[in-house]
Structure 1
Amino acid sequence: MSKPLDILKSYWKHESFRPAQEEIIENILQGNDTFALLPTGGGKSICFQIPALLKPGLCLVISPLVALMKDQVENLKSKNIKAIALTGNISFEETNNLLDNCAYGDYKFLYVSPERLQQDWVLERIKNLNINLVAIDEAHCISQWGHDFRPAYLKISSLKEYFTVPFVALTASATTRVQNDICTLLQLTNPKLFKNSFYRENLGYHIIKTEDKLNKLRQIYYKNPEPSIVYVRNRKMCLEFSQTLNDLGFTATYYHGGLSTKEKDKNMNIWLCEQAKIMVATNAFGMGIDKPNVKTVIHLQIPENLESYYQEAGRAGRNGNKAFALLLTPEINPDNFKKYFIDNLPHKDFLTLVYRDLNNHFQIAYGDGFQETFYLNLNQFCIKYNLSVTKTFACLQFLDRQGVITLSNSISNKATLQFLLESREVIRYCSLNPNDAEIINVILRNYTGIFEQVTNINTSLIATKSNTTEEKVIDVLKKLESQEIIELKLQSNDITIIYNEPREDNYTINRIVKHLETQNQIKIEQYESMLHFVTDTTTCKSVLISNYFGEEQKEDCGICSYCNSKSKTEVKSVSDSIINLLKNGAKSSNEIENLLSFTTEEIIFAIQNLLENDSIFLNSNNQYQIK
């Protein structure tokens, strides 16, 4: 029988496990429920993937993020490990086929969202599969005190009725309160907690006060030209800062949730290969990213909570070399910042308004909409209904987490067209333009009546059936439009929405609003903790983070902004004492040490600084003297 290390070497090409991985795997293989709290970069997925490969049957993985599921499935497939993800945009028929594959196709991993498990027919199918392990990723989502609470996670514990297999809960960041919630709400049986320290001895957290962030970025990158991530708040800033950094002579690319898969992959590879050293990104960037030599992670705005900040900052210095997490901010008034944050939280009336406008925008009648898919351009929607983009997106995210809708950020193209020429003229065009012919023929075969009336077309479907890219389809359509062969209306959308339940207006809102009020209060508390981290000038930043997550760290890290300022203050104090002493006459180093109550190291360091700054000099008698 293979051993865990054999599997690691064979599939992942690593020679040894990271801290706690092997112990977690052994605990699972012994049939025990397990809780793995491994900070960012700790390699959580291997902890359930290896035991699942060592046991007959299929591992059920519950994950809240479509992008994360797709990423892990693709990684497994690249290792010739059979895996499937049931994402929200898969039809009933395709879902049935995929579950058949799980039953009869020797698959090892089935990824599902917690909302999928609430569909009775899906659960019935899964109950009949040979499940060998249940892995709950992003397990903090089960706790209302977590930073991404999803009520659907509360139903996961019901799986205990059907599967007598080990359950493993995994998360990168959870406070003590959230840890307790995870174990209780998942009904883990005598779980063993495996927890790596939140302390990163090579990572210095720095709060940098500046009114000119761009100039500060320039200074940082002249000093540290190694690979970097810059986190910004929105998509517009991604593009703007990326372009500006390139104009300044640096190499930068960008990444956000609205990019197409092709653009994401292209920009990601440019950064991974270091054709561009700087990745400017929203918080959509980071899942599955393990680039060891990232030197700096820079935040240009204050994140909403320490959980997110810790995960994003933790993408620096994974190779063990000294690295920096830098948060650039102007001088702030905590009360004003908190008020701004609270004003942007959605409340019941605004949520009701957004839900109503969304239904009207899609022309969904009361009681309709169930399992229908719609495409939305968020900015145009907010302009049409005079809504705040930030608050509206927060409402859509909340509706997603409550299971009312499934929300995904991806570029899609909604197109309507009608042919203006007769069919024989179109056929003649195809004979003269063979490169365009296949796309045109696919359109003609799939959309009847397209010569008589304006017709909605699916550019993605056309691309698939003509064995080309969606970009090529759109190029051909624009070419046909320019030659007045078709009348075309093309709209780009950045959000896909699937309705998980029919439109019910007040019933829907009243059912979920209690969670909104609780969520808002928790978000305010988390933001206060984040503000305290930023504004505190009396405590080591690494200590503040460890304490927040319930871990006692007594010693200062020595490399954060607080420790650096403290060190400078201490050096200045020693230097001032030496200067005052030398005002009474020249002294040797032994005399200085005997007359002052500082350590030898502190005195030597201060003397070196004074010499470098030309404040003192060494005279012919080997004594230090003021210039």
Structure 2
Amino acid sequence: MPEEQPIEKAREALNSYWGFSSFRSGQEEAIRSVLEGNDTLVLFPTGGGKSLCYQVPAVVQDGLTVVISPLIALMQDQVQQLNKAGIRATFLNSTIPSYEVEQRLVNARNGMYKLLYIAPERLSTELWKSEQPNLDIQLVAIDEAHCISEWGHDFRPSYREIRTALEDLPQTTKWIALTATATPEVKKDILENLEFEEPVVVTGGFKRENLHWWVSKTEKKRTLLKKSVKKAADLGSGIVYASTRRDCEEWAGYFDKNGISAKPYHAGLDTATRNEIQQDWIDGDLSLVVATNAFGMGIDKADCRYVIHYTIPFSLEAYYQEAGRAGRDGEISYPILIFKESDVQYLRNRVEQNYPDREILQKVYDGLCDELDLAVGSEQDSPEEVFFDNIAKRTKLTVSKVSNAVNLLQRLDFLIQIDLREPRVGVHFIVNSDYLVEFIYDSDPGKGDFLDGLFRQFGPQVFSEMQYLDIEYLIQKLETSSNQLYKALRVFAEHDQILKFKWQEESKLIKVKGARQKKLRIESDQAYNYRDILLKKIEYMARYATTNACREVFLRHYFGETNCKPCGHCDNCRSGEKEQLLVSREDIRKVTQVLESGEKSFSEITKSASWDRKKTKKVLSFMVRENYAESDQSGDLYSLLRKA
């Protein structure tokens, strides 16, 4: 009998492990491309089934698939789902102790896993570098690949180092990159950075026929949110996105008291609580989640009927991804944006604050080097833990300004932030193992059990040196609170004198690159280019919010699709082509002809069209909003984006 073809094995795996009889549109094309060894880029909208494009090949081929993912919660959720389906998978991230990381890598070396999820930052660690040659890596999958590009809405510098970090992999290794939000610029950047040769690009398109896009402009946002949720709640479950924890708590409480079961979701809640809220919402036991943008990534809930943005996002990519969590089952659903003009200026101010001027950069750099006892001209041997509170005191700046400056200094390559540390605790037993066992045995049951659990979490290395774990992880495993853990450690250290501990708030490991400079050499283009990109993204977001044309067409044009027809059911399509009464097709064609020869100033366009300034402003405003043209930062120079 002829040998079974890989794609046939893929179809069998889809049915056997996931229970699906056929692939969604585009999935089989992507999987076939991977199995044939092509560099593959997958551009599917939110809910389009991207993960199966690497999970299915991982199951049907030999060896290990390494999945690079930026989100701890997403890793854990996918690994849990895979294990439930009988597929061996694990992850490496900061929630697990170092000895467990080492054990999982040994397991991977011995072929115990089909998929290994890992954060991009971990590829630069010495442990990974030493173990990578021992792993039979057959496929590298880069999830959320838009993080590679500065034009992406969630740029992460570590993503740009992935190809370099894995350059020693054999030529036969297969590569796939996946994202839900890639503009033409982002797509180009991904392919170039990953050095994809003759790539196969599979796109699912950005049309979502069942989504009725809606924007409401108002100065009475609170009143409108109450009305919108009350009306939408009759349709089923939903999400309200807000920007602050306080808003999440306030609105969840309000709706819950008014008959709509609701809970807040944000980073200030512990992991167990967040997981419980998420599961209750997925199971239908909770109608509404009021959340920051931390909620929703990778969540598989088909029947979310509405997503309301009470706060306007920083980019159309983020908006499309978050709003697209509505209606994954294909039923009519409503992504709604509530905004007022001042929201846009608020976003601009937030971006500007993240890019401190040269004077502040120099001050923070000097304060950081002083904190590290680093003299001018000397180099730092290895990364050291730094607390921003200390730098803030030295520089007389706020912790927020210090953090923003450090982030920009990293982007400018003056330093490296090796790892973002959540609050963590270090423990070192100063007695031997025999004494500890006897001490546990002689203690009352509650104290003994707690101490035994503590030792088991840190492992045997805790006798030789200080070992660290995230506080949130530890209190979850020991089923205690942060306060109770701290008190217990103090008793063990001060009264029983069996251990030493270090209780550390959020901090970072930092290494200054090269010798300390007396005066930083900063190029403005290099320093503030990404700021300008972010400001331009906010401008596109504002245009979407204020356009009078079809919302879906606007989104699809933004993501590079052409020849799109109006959806017929967004708020603008329903209210008719009002803008055409103000700007005629002939007016647009006239400006298009002027700009075809290249960039022109406002005055040049006014003169060429033989209009007064008021009419020129009206026509150009319309053309910029509808993505026919764009202006530079000064707002005086215009260039053509597409022909009318």
What TM-score, normalized to structure 2? Answer: 0.72
| 1:132 counterpart letter in structure 2 | Q
Counterpart contact for 1:369–1:502, Cα < 8 Å: no
C-alpha distance in 2, partners of 1:339/1:169?
A: 31
Q: Displacement of 1:170 after TM fit?
A: 0.9
Which of 245, 266, 280 is the matching residue for 1:270?
Answer: 280
- Structure 1, residues 443-462: CA drift from partner, whole Å, max 9, x if none? 89999xxxxxxxx9989789
What does residue 229 of structure 1 align with?
A: 239
- Equivalent in 314, 320, 332 of residue 304 of structure 1: 314
Q: Which residue of 1 aligns with 2:82?
A: 76
Deviation at 1:340, TM superposition (A): 2.7
Q: Which residue of 2 aligns with 1:541?
A: 551
Amino acid at match of 1:305: S
The aligned residue for residue 328 of structure 1 is: 338
Secondary structure of the 1:117 match is: helix
Q: Are residues 338 and 125 of structure 1, via their aligned partners in 2, closer, same or farther at CA, if it must alter by over 3 Å?
A: closer
The residue identity in structure 2 corresponding to 1:208 is S
- The equivalent of 1:453 in structure 2 is none
Distance 2:574 2:421 in 1: 41
Letter in 2 for 1:4: A
Partner of 1:280: 290
Letter in 2 for 1:404: I
Displacement of 1:278 after TM fit?
Answer: 1.1
1:293 & 1:462 partners in 2: Cα distance? 32
Distance in 2 (alpha carbons) for counterparts of 1:381 and 1:328: 39
Q: CA RMSD in A?
A: 4.6
Distance 1:463 1:474, change over 3 A: farther
The match for 1:347 among 351, 356, 373 is 356
Do the aligned residues in 2 keep the contact of 1:460 with 1:470 (CA within 8 Å)? no
- Summarize the Cα distance change of 1:144–1:96 in structure 2 as closer, same or farther, 3 Å threshold: same
Q: Quote the Cα distance in structure 2 between the aligned partners of 1:242 and 1:372.
A: 41
Using the TM superposition, give the Cα deviation of residue 333 of structure 1 relative to its aligned residue in structure 2, in angstroms: 8.7
> What is aligned with 2:252?
242
> Which of 12, 18, 28 is matched with 1:6 structurally?
12
CA distance in 2, matches of 1:383, 1:78: 50
Aligned residue number for residue 431 of structure 2: none
Q: Displacement, 1:223? A: 1.6
Q: 1:347/1:472 Cα in 2 relative to 1: closer, same or farther (>3 Å)?
A: closer
Count of matched residue positions in the alignment of Structure 1 and Structure 2: 546
The structural deviation recorded for 1:121 is 5.4
Output the amino acid matched with 2:356.
Answer: H
2:221 is matched with 213
Of 311-320 and 95-104, the range deviating more from structure 2:
95-104
Residues of 1 paired with 2:409 and 2:213: CA distance? 34
Distance change in 2, residues 1:299/1:535 (3 Å): same
Cα distance change, pair 95–368 in 1 and its aligned pair in 2 (3 A)? farther
Tell me the distance in 1 between the aligned counterparts of 2:425 and 2:126.
Answer: 33
Distance 1:470 1:288, change over 3 A: same
1:194 counterpart residue number: 202
SS state of the match for residue 163, structure 2? helix
5+ residue gaps, structure 2, are 428-438, 459-465, 581-644
- 1:162 paired to 2:169: yes
Map 1:412-427; keep pairs closer than 5 Å: none
Matched residues in 2 for 1:12 and 1:68: separation? 18
1:24, 1:36 within 8 Å by CA — same for their partners in 2?
Answer: yes
Question: How far has the Cα of 1:57 moved from its partner?
Answer: 0.4
How many angstroms apart in 2 are the aligned matches of 1:312 and 1:325?
Answer: 9
Cα offsets for 1:182-221 (capped at 9, x unmatched)? 1122111211110011111111221112233232222122
Change in CA separation of 1:562 and 1:27 when aligned onto 2, cut-off 3 Å: same
Superposed, 1:360-399 pairs within 5 Å as 364-366=372-374, 370=382, 394=404
Distance 2:74 2:519 in 1: 28
Question: Which residue of 391, 394, 416 corresponds with 1:404?
Answer: 416
1:91 and 1:547 map into 2 onto residues whose CA distance is 46
- 1:520 matched to 2:534? The reply is no
Alpha-carbon distance in structure 2 between the residues aligned to 1:234 and 1:493: 25
1:18 aligned to 17, 24, 27, which one? 24
Matches within 5 A, 1:547-586: 547-566=557-576
1:95-174 equivalences in 2 (<5 Å): 95-119=101-125, 122-158=128-164, 159=166, 162-163=169-170, 164-174=172-182
Task: Please give the alpha-carbon distance, in whole angstroms, between the structure 2 residues aligned to 1:278 and 1:495.
Answer: 31
Verify the 8 A CA contact 1:38 1:44 in the aligned structure 2. yes
- Flag the structure with larger Rg: 1
The gaps in structure 1 that reach 5 residues or longer are: 416-426, 448-455, 571-627
Instruction: Name the amino acid aligned to 1:518.
Output: N
Distance 1:491 1:247, change over 3 A: farther
Partner of 1:132, secondary structure, is strand
Correspondence for 1:439 among 447, 450, 470 = 450
1:290-334 Cα distance to aligned partner (Å, 9 max, x none): 211111111112211111111001001111111111111124596
Determine if contact 1:35/1:191 at 8 Å carries over to the other structure.
yes
Q: Describe the shift of the 1:507–1:167 C-alpha distance in structure 2 as closer, same or farther (beyond 3 A).
A: farther
Shift of 1:152: 3.1
What amino acid is the match of 1:209? K
The reply on whether 1:37 has 2:43 as its aligned counterpart is yes
User: 2:319 corresponds to which letter in structure 1?
Assistant: Y
1:180 to 188, 192, 195: 188
Change over 3 Å in CA distance of 1:509–1:325 after alignment to 2: farther
Deviation at 1:108, TM superposition (A): 1.2
- Which residue identity is paired with 1:345? N
Asked if the contact 2:391–2:402 (Cα under 8 Å) also holds between the matched residues in 1, the reply is no
Secondary structure at the aligned position of 1:133 is classed as strand
Offset at residue 568 of structure 1 (A): 9.5
- 1:183 alignment partner, SS class: helix
Alpha-carbon distance, 1:50 to partner:
0.7
C-alpha deviation, 1:120, in angstroms: 5.5
Please tell me whether the aligned partners of residues 300 and 327 of structure 1 are also in contact (alpha carbons under 8 angstroms).
yes
TM-superposition CA deviations, 1:560-587 (whole Å, max 9, x none):
22112228999xxxxxxxxxxxxxxxxx
Give the drift of 1:356: 6.3
